[in-house]
Amino acid sequence: MRLLETHEAPEARGGQTGPERVLRTTFACNQRCPFCFVTLTGRRAELAEIERELDSLVQLCGFGGELTLSGGEPTADPRLLDIVASARQRGFRRFVLQTNGVFLARPGLLEGLIRFGVRCYMVSFHSHRPTFYDKITGSSKQYALAVAGLTRLLGARGCRVIVNVVVNAWNYRDLPGLMGFLARLRPGRRPEICFSMINEAGHEKAPSCAVSLERVGPPLRRALEICRREGLRVDRFTGGSAFPVCLLNTPGRYADLRRVPQNRVRYAEDFPEDTGGRAKRPDCRRCAYDAHCIGVPASYARIFGLAALRIPPAHG
Are 125 and 75 within one domain?
no
Q: Report the domain count for the chain.
A: 2
Residue at which a domain ends, from 183, 217, 235: 235
* 119 and 83 within one domain: no
Please state whether beta strands 160-166 and 118-124 pair in parallel, antiparallel, or not at all (unpaired): parallel
**pLDDT for residue 117:** 94
Is the residue at 60 inside a domain?
yes
Residue 275's closest CA among 261, 263, 265?
A: 265
Choosing from 171, 202, 235, the residue where a domain stops is 235
pLDDT for the residue numbered 62: 66
Same domain, 131 and 201: yes
Same domain, 140 and 78: no
Range of the domain at 200: 112-235
Q: What is the pLDDT along the chain (316 residues), one digit of tens a residue?
A: 567 776 655 544 444 445 678 899 999 999 999 999 998 888 888 899 999 999 988 887 666 678 999 999 999 999 999 999 999 999 888 999 999 999 998 889 999 999 999 999 999 999 999 999 999 999 999 999 999 999 999 999 999 999 999 999 999 999 999 999 999 999 999 999 999 999 999 999 999 999 999 999 999 999 999 999 999 999 999 998 999 999 999 999 999 999 999 999 999 999 988 888 999 999 999 999 999 999 999 999 999 999 999 998 764 5
State pTM to two decimals.
0.93
**DSSP one-letter code for 290:** G
Q: Is residue 278 in some structural domain?
A: no
Q: What are phi and psi of 214, to 5 degrees?
A: -60, -40
On whether both 91 and 179 belong to a single domain, the answer is no
> Are 65 and 137 found together in one domain?
no
Decide if 196 is inside a domain: yes
Would the CA dihedral through 139, 143, 148, 149 be positive or negative?
positive
Residue where a domain stops, chosen among 40, 72, 99: 99
* 89, part of any domain: yes
Q: Are 195 and 222 in contact (CB under 8 A)?
A: no
Q: For the chain, where are the E strands, in sequence order?
A: 4-8, 19-24, 66-70, 94-99, 118-124, 160-166, 192-196, 265-267, 278-280, 296-297
* Residue 224 placed within a domain: yes
